[in-house]
Chain A
Amino acid sequence: MNMEKTASAAATRTWLVLVALTLTTFTFGVLGYEGMGLVAAALLIALVKAQLVVDHFMRLRRGAPLWRMLLTGYLFTVGALIAIAFAVAGL
């Protein structure tokens, strides 16, 4: 029962953080923010959210270091490519 409560509480905390971060990104959009500040913030938030899903929902943080590394590397690569493209567009 303890394991169940602990796992459920951890999942609930992760979900609440994901909801809060999503509302933050949405607020940026509604307020009409533009430019590199918005791009950097929205992209960083997206990558943090994705890593939370990898670590806590997919449960790769413990017991699957290779797969966690692959998915974290994927997020880093995709994030870097998007950041480079938006940075060049903003020059």
Chain B
Amino acid sequence: MTYPTDAAVQVRSAGPPGDLAIWFFILAELAVFGAFFATYAFTRLNHVELFNTYQQHLDTRAGLINTLALITSSYFVVRAVVAVRCGRPLQCARWLWAAIAMGGVFVVVKLFEFSVHISAGVTLSTNTFYMFYLSLTFFHFMHVLLGMVILSVVALKAGRGDYTPAEHTGVETGASYWHMVDLVWLILFPLVYVMR
């Protein structure tokens, strides 16, 4: 199914893409993650040796794979938005499923990381570093799962042809949320896995 690609492919209106409400939600989410990041950094002040030691127990390769997965997933979502704005809802749905698959890569790698830590007896109470590492990454992990659910709903609707170049707020809204999940990880990865 295709639609005329006329002026509708232009930027629809001033303001952020998608439903305005999602942007207030994004701001709230960013504020929570920002507080988490700052608390991690300032708590580290009193435990520098501990943080530096246990940070080296993390699998940086897993962090790399997950970063590449989320970046690529975000890129696929951008392509989905471009497709729907150009009147190609089925192509939009395919890009979204590809983005969800990359989210799946993130989930599998993260679950593998969690299982390694759990089998080694690591818990939230093992030490302050692991308390932050586990809670921060699990909190973000839950956001990835929610984002995948949102993208799946949008992909199903796009596949049914529910979106047009003139009206595709749902795609833009889901995309904005997913980019927020990506953006948070771009700070989390170097902060927790690399910086010491």
Contacts and interface: CB of A to CB of B under 8 A. Distances in A.
Tell me the interface secondary structure of chain B in the complex. Answer: helix
Interface string A1-36: 101100110011011001100110110111000100
Interface stretch (B15-23, B132-140, B152-160): B15-23
B187 A34 contact: no
B191 A82 contact: yes
Tell me the interface secondary structure of chain A in the complex. Answer: helix
B169 interface: no
Contacts of A22: 64, 67-68, 71, 189
Interface of A: 1, 3-4, 7-8, 11-12, 14-15, 18-19, 22-23, 25-26, 28-30, 34, 38-39, 42-43, 45-47, 49-50, 53-54, 56-60, 62-64, 67, 70-71, 74, 77-78, 81-82, 85-86, 88-89
Interface of B: 5, 9-11, 13-17, 23, 27, 30-31, 34, 37-38, 41-42, 44-45, 48, 52, 60, 63-64, 67-68, 71-72, 74-75, 77-79, 82-83, 85-86, 176, 179-180, 182-183, 186-187, 189-191, 193-196
